[in-house]
């Protein structure tokens, strides 16, 4: 993570801290991600509305995080912020995959332009980002346009985080895959979590639809 990105994530954490005595930081983060994902896609309305007095905080937070993800697209900005803000689900702490592990996995998997990418526990999407970055570095942006990305996670909130982070990555690299699928599902039982994002590249644009 670059020094500039560290400053931006520190600012993001300071903004989140402002919610501590009104909502609690973890509750605010969840409501914020829900709202941001809905505003970006028009899909899956937020389960909880952010109080009016925290809306300006949420607005500024979205701009700070968006700037950080665009300027440092291979850093796990959302994963870092979630872990540092005390985020938890179902009584367990969330720990992001270190970016170094993502880079190592991308080298192990390789960068064949004909290959597709599948990950059953995608979290905030950093492993997929490093695989795509390795592909672009070795084969060029046009190689990504011929691949399909299939991602799954049991946590619907992680599905939304992954979508947000990948969309920022695509914008920063001015490249998109042929198809993108991010599905909320229990990988073992194959029981779905009633959330999925699909994007398919067309000659003119990429469209997003709900499952």
Residue 72: the pLDDT is: 95
Helices within 42-146 (DSSP H only) = 52-71, 77-84, 99-109, 126-139, 141-144
> What are 179-205's pLDDT values in tens digits?
999 999 998 999 999 999 999 977 655
Mean pLDDT of the 79-87 span: 83
Task: Give the residue among 67, 58, 57 at the shortest CA–CA distance from 5.
Answer: 67
Task: Give the per-residue pLDDT at 207.
Answer: 54
Q: Do both 106 and 88 map to the same domain?
A: no
Mean pLDDT of 58-73: 97
Domain identity same for 189 and 206: yes
Same domain for 199 and 170, yes or no, is yes
Give the total number of structural domains in the chain. Answer: 2
pLDDT, greater one: 208 or 119:
119
Q: Are 124 and 102 in contact (CB under 8 A)?
A: no
- Distance (Å, rounded) from C-alpha 209 to C-alpha 77? 25
Asked whether residue 191 falls in the same domain as residue 110, the answer is yes
Residue 98 has a pLDDT of: 64
Do both 72 and 53 map to the same domain?
yes
**E strands along the chain, which residues?**
88-89, 92-93, 117-119, 148-153, 179-185, 192-201, 206-210
- Which of 93, 114, 139 is the last residue in one of the domains? 93
- Picking from 93, 124, 158, the residue at the C-terminal end of a domain is 93
Residues 110, 194 share a domain: yes
Of 34, 67, 93, the position where a domain reaches its end is 93
Same domain, 86 and 161: no
Closest residue by Cα to residue 194 from 45, 89, 79:
45
Q: What is the pLDDT of residues 96-131, one digit of tens each?
A: 666 666 566 656 665 555 578 999 989 999 999 999
* 27 shares a domain with 113: no
- State the chain's mean pLDDT as an integer: 87
Boundaries of domain holding 192: 99-210
Q: Are residues 85 and 103 in the same domain?
A: no
């Amino acid at each position: 993570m670059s020094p500039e990105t560290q400053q931006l994530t520190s600012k993001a954490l300071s903004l989140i801290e402002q919610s501590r005595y009104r909502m609690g930081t973890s509750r605010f983060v969840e409501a914020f991600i829900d709202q941001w994902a809905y505003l970006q896609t028009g899909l899956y309305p937020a389960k909880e509305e952010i109080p009016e007095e925290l809306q300006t905080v949420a607005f500024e937070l979205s701009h700070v995080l968006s700037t950080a993800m665009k300027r440092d697209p291979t850093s796990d900005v959302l994963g870092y912020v979630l872990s540092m803000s005390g985020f938890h689900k179902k009584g367990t702490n969330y720990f992001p995959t270190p970016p170094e592990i993502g880079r190592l996995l991308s080298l192990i998997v390789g960068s064949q332009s004909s290959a597709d990418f599948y990950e059953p526990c995608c979290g905030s999407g950093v492993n997929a980002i490093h695989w795509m970055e390795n592909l672009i570095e070795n084969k060029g942006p046009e190689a990504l346009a011929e691949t399909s990305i299939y991602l799954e996670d049991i946590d619907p909130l992680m599905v939304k985080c992954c979508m947000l982070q990948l969309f920022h990555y695509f914008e920063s690299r001015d490249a998109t895959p042929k198809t993108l699928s991010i599905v909320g599902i229990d990988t073992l039982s194959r029981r779905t979590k009633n959330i999925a994002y699909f994007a398919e590249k067309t000659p003119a644009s990429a469209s997003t639809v709900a499952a």
